[in-house]
Amino acid sequence: MIELKEEQVETILEKAIEGINSDDDYQLVSMTKKIKYNNALSFFEAAKYIKKNRTFWMSSEEDFYLVGIGQAYEIIAEESRFEETKKAWNQLLEKATIYNPYEQPGTGIVALGGLSFDPKKPTTPLWENFKPSHFTVPEFLMTKHNRECYLTVNILVRKNDHPRQLANEWRDLENSLFQKASIEKQMLTITEKKEIEPTEWKETVRKAKEKINHSDIEKIVLAREMYLRFNENANIGSILQKLLDTHPSSYIFAIEKDEDCFLGATPERLVKLEKDHLLSTCLAGTAPRGKTKEEDQAISEGLLHDQKNREEHDFVVKMIKNAIKDCCTHLDVPNEPIIYPLTNLQHLYTPVTATLKKEYSLFDIIEKLHPTPALGGTPKEASLQFIREYERLDRGWYGAPIGWLDSNQNGEFAVAIRSALIKDTEASLFAGCGVVKDSNPDEEYEETNIKFLPMLSVLGG
């Protein structure tokens, strides 16, 4: 299993420590090796009683998994969050020692995390553990990509550390994490279910519609919350297993911060970067799935030709194209959307591809794209101002960019929808919809009910 020998580990650590000049200085040492295939969720579960702050990421398109355990380094930014996060990431890489002969996506130094939807909106205790920009480089990272499996160990070393002691601690922890752990199958029971101010939410939809009809705003996305209480503490591993079983076409994610966990199954990619090749996704316009093949096909055709949904989708396509055009070359945008089917829902889908210019980074693209019209509205600033003023919800990381980036110039971020914030025996679920000039508050309310279903169904609802 181990290609990186113990004496190599000690030598790498020793050289890194020798290069540290002062007691206040540090260096991140990252070592990657190929391992035999290990079940990603089992690895996640094995860490439950060993390390806090686990992270799980799955992209079904490439059979790609990332599981982060613990934290070797954190990047937190409150002000000028995109610029500060990018600066801190680059400074970390400049000082790091990286042993990674594979350079596969998701290996080497990888930071996993996300950002809040709107740092200008006052925060509440609900999201106190999730900062405006918060990324973690885990102590242990298991990566599964194209049927190959890798383990990356990240160790923050200081001047007076001892290489052998660090190597021994690393080996002992690794052995503990690779103990086979079965996923505890949990049948959660919802003891309390409460929609947060549904009548007031419909009234906000009416206000948004009125604002649109008397201004230059074309669309405002409004979100709402559902509160659940369970009969016992929720087991995150069990919930993830259910999400993997029921939403194989979505990004499955879980980000633990102390006792809280934000998780979900989102179909919406924000951006993917492989070296300089960029892929973004326009996913807007929603309909349910049919109960029969014929009904499903009829609903798909209706969605493709529905004026409201096509307008909503076109807003997103135009915005993404305009947002990234100055940062890219070879921009390619199809003229017509196609249907993107999921377990409970289907969406209008348009992929956008381009080549990223050398002077721009993944964080630059995220800043330009977030929030897309599918989560904020259009024009961006005017719709955000309405949301800040009227939406009775602390979105936190809901609807915001979550994902990962690595030291090999790869990364991928999704939009955190179809999600829930778990706090032991409680959960807050989030869903939103786009309000346009012809919106009907009752119909928008029913659309959010449909969007609650992916998380509600795996939480005992």
Strand partners, 102: none
Please enumerate in sequence order all residues whose Cβ is within 8 A of that of 320, keeping only pairs 6 or more positions apart, or say none.
280, 282, 352, 369, 372
Please enumerate in sequence order all residues whose Cβ is within 8 A of that of 74, keeping only pairs 6 or more positions apart, or say none.
134, 135, 136, 137
393: its two tokens = 């919800």
Q: How far apart are CA 429 and CA 398, in angstroms?
A: 9
Among 48, 403, 393, 67, CA closest to 234: 48
Segment 194-203 shows an average pLDDT of 97
Q: Which residue has the higher pLDDT, 445 or 179?
A: 445
Strands 140-145 and 148-158: antiparallel
pLDDT at 177 over 80: yes
**pLDDT value at residue 248:** 87
Tell me if 65 sits within 8 A of 83, measured CB to CB. no
pLDDT (tens digit per residue) in 125-140 = 999 999 999 999 999 9
Q: Which residue has the higher pLDDT, 114 or 284?
A: 114
Q: Which uninterrupted H or E stretch holds 318? A: helix 307-324
**pLDDT value at residue 181:** 74
* Residue in 218, 268, 412, 444 annotated catalytic: 268
pLDDT at 311 over 90: no
Is 45 labeled as ligand-binding? no
* Residue in 144, 219, 321, 368 annotated catalytic: 219
Helix (H, G, I), strand (E, B), or coil: what is residue 399? coil
Tell me if 141 sits within 8 A of 69, measured CB to CB. yes
296: its two tokens = 């499903």
Segment 236-247 shows an average pLDDT of 95
**pLDDT value at residue 184:** 80
Domains of the chain and CATH, by start: 6-177 (no CATH), 190-458 (3.60.120.10)
- For residue 386, what pLDDT band results from cuts at 50, 70 and 90? very high
Segment 247-267 shows an average pLDDT of 94
Strand partners, 256: 261
308: its two tokens = 């409201």
Q: How far apart are CA 222 and CA 199, in angstroms?
A: 13
**pLDDT value at residue 1:** 41
Active site residue 219: yes
Cis ω before 379 (30° cut-off from 0): yes
Q: What angle do CA 87, 58, 275 make, to 5 degrees?
A: 45
- For residue 2, what pLDDT band results from cuts at 50, 70 and 90? very low
pLDDT (tens digit per residue) in 87-108 = 999 999 999 999 999 989 999 9
Q: Which residue has the tokens 């509205």?
A: 377
Q: How far apart are CA 447 and CA 139, in angstroms?
A: 41
Active site residue 180: no
**pLDDT value at residue 23:** 84
pLDDT at 180 over 80: no
Is 336 labeled as ligand-binding? no
pLDDT (tens digit per residue) in 322-337 = 999 999 999 999 999 9
Segment 246-271 shows an average pLDDT of 94
Q: How far apart are CA 306 and CA 310, in angstroms?
A: 6
**pLDDT value at residue 126:** 97
Tell me if 153 sits within 8 A of 31, measured CB to CB. yes
